[in-house]
Amino acid sequence: MEIMKGFYLAFLFLGVSSLHVFAAHVFPGARHSDEVVKSVTFRSPAFTLGPGEVQNTYYQGVPFVEGHVALKAFDAEVVDESGNSVPLNEVYLHHWVALNYIGTNSTDYVPHGPISSSGSIIGNDGVCPNHALSQIYGLGSETRKTSTYLPGPYGIEVGKYENELWLLNVHAIDTRGTIDPFGCLECRCDLYNVTVGEDGKPLRDGYQGGLFCCYDGVRCQLKDGYVGENRTYYLEYTVHYQEWDDSILPLKIYIFDSTFEGSTCKVFVHVLVLNRMDSVLRP
């Protein structure tokens, strides 16, 4: 399911923030349930990045709140071994995704999809076929300190099923020591010296940059002679939740995709990459 590899990020953000506003305005008197909201913080498995390196990993069966609960908010960010936030100009979080599925805790890395049987994803109520954009939460670096809090009686219902597990997809780019950090974030193929995709097949003609060039394990070009340590990081995530009860109004998540063309959500758009030097020299 290669569609899981890229995300048309604006839509979840707009969706969540407009719901937030909607709920706050339409039901100003709704019972505020702050007093019963609990929070618990977890970490993904550790991952190690050297300067310029990319990781795009699917972690299955990650730690999560047990039982039938309503999610009120979810915060996630990349931290180091001491739990400190990692500056985005060192490790850029290209995207992260959290979704629930019914299955077993297989830790096998599945290169072309998070779960071999995609039918087991629970995820959201979005419109894309084949479980594209099926995350409950997720976005990129900009989610750090962006509130996802659902006010009033609203909550996202999870944990209804017996074998419900959680999956995290973390795509991070370490830009320390790179010749063009911004180009690394744009996933420019020349900077990654990439001419074939993750599947070993040549990239299509004219493909200059995008997710097909910054897949797991590639490295963005470093400044001559740059040597930097390997560092260990985690995605740290805090789940704010309350026990399920009948007073909670289940909030459904719908993600729309502007690239939908009748049968597939393409999830991300390929834009011709301009040569930025040219545009600087010849505006």
> What are the residues binding ligand NAG (CB under 6 A)?
50, 61, 63, 105, 107, 165, 193, 227, 229-230
Residue with tokens 């001559």: 224
Residue number, nearest CB to ligand NAG: 61
Q: Which is nearer to ligand NAG, 33 or 120 (CB)?
A: 120
Q: Which is nearer to ligand NAG, 230 or 275 (CB)?
A: 230
Q: Are 110 and 121 in contact (CB under 8 A)?
A: no
Q: How far is the CB of 46 from ligand NAG (least distance, A)?
A: 11
Residue with tokens 């910054």: 214
* 81 burial via Cβ count (<10 Å: 0-12, 13-18, 19+): exposed
Tokens of 6: 């890229």
Q: Which is nearer to ligand NAG, 74 or 268 (CB)?
A: 74
Q: How far is the CB of 93 from ligand NAG (least distance, A)?
A: 21
Q: How far is the CB of 264 from ligand NAG (least distance, A)?
A: 31
Name beta bridge partners: 42: 237
Tokens of 259: 């690239």
Q: Which is nearer to ligand NAG, 202 or 262 (CB)?
A: 202
Q: How far is the CB of 97 from ligand NAG (least distance, A)?
A: 17
Separation between Cα atoms, residue 254 and residue 16, nearest integer Å: 9
